[in-house]
Amino acid sequence: MPRTPARRRTRRRLAADAGLLVAAAAFVLPLAWVVLSALDPRANLRVKVPDGVTLDNFDAILTPEITFTPLLNSLVLCGGATALTVACAALAAYPLSRFRSRLNRPFLLTILFATSLPITAIMVPVYALFVRVNMIDTMQGTIFFFAASQLPFAIWLMKNFMDGVPRELEEAAWTDGASSFQSLLRIVLPLMGPGVAVVTVFSFVMMWGNFFVPFMLLLSPDQMPASVSINDFFGNRGMVAYGQLAAFSIVYSTPVILLYVLISRRLGGGFALGGAVKG
């Protein structure tokens, strides 16, 4: 009888480990397929070790028309929209974090509601609006819409991070003659570096993988980003260039990985404000 509770705990641990292994396999198998198929001259939907390793799939896709131009378009679209999103989110979150008003809570709830709107539900009126204002098939118009669609959640995140910066630090800067805008740039944003990094990565990743928005708002093939041009690997009648698709997926994922690596130190940093307002 004393062993029964121990056996139950052991069974629960085994069940939890089995569940975690299944979840890990669900993530690892697609990644394994991408890596192995990119090196397989006869790649298909099966996850298998290639009979012979080749780089022909990478040679086939590393051309300006297939990879370099779409990637450059993606960097311009997502980079510009991310910079605009972060800047606008910081300016919008600052008064919400620093000033108390009866409208703060309704405004934040409206922002939260805006994050739940499916993008497909608003694309038809957005398309009609862009046609009317002559912004259809323009990079700047797509950048503005990317930023506008990502801004509600970015404001919500930025405001929560900004609440962690002590107001006393700003008051000391105001005493020295700094304006609110100067204290935001020189005090608040540097101290909430991890929060800015989170908003940057989140916004960039969400835009980088967006297919529907550029597919609807951009018409010229030379302006299409990589998230849309990847569709070219799916041919007619179910014919798919699996090896080239896998190789393109690896190249397509590289900028996001590099962005995360570059700012990973800020993501794990923390605010380190302990004792900053003492004395």
For 163, phi then psi, to 5°, come to -65, -20
CA 143 to chain CA centroid, Å, is: 15
Mean pLDDT of 154-175: 85
- pLDDT surpasses 70 at 158: yes
Is the Cα dihedral 209, 211, 215, 217 positive or negative?
A: negative
- Which range of 47-56, 71-80, 147-156 scores highest in mean pLDDT? It is 71-80
Mean pLDDT of 117-124: 82
Within the chain, strands assigned E span none
- pLDDT surpasses 90 at 225: yes
Interval 54-101: pLDDT, tens: 889 999 999 999 899 999 999 999 999 999 999 999 998 888 888 877
Judge whether 155 and 96 are in contact, CB under 8 Å.
yes
Mean pLDDT of 5-12: 80
Mean pLDDT of 6-13: 82
B/e letters for 119-156, b = 16+ CB within 10 Å, e = fewer, are eeeebeebeeebeeeebbebbebbbbbbbebbbbbbbb
Q: CB 3: neighbour CB atoms within 10 A?
A: 8
Interval 254-278: pLDDT, tens: 999 888 888 876 565 444 444 444 4
- pLDDT surpasses 50 at 202: yes
CATH superfamily, region 60-268: MetI-like (1.10.3720.10)
Alpha-carbon distance values, 165 to 144, 193, 197, 200, 266 (Å) = 29, 11, 15, 19, 16
Q: How far apart are CA 206 and CA 224, in angstroms?
A: 17
CA 183 to chain CA centroid, Å, is: 28
CATH 1.10.3720.10 maps onto the chain at 60-268
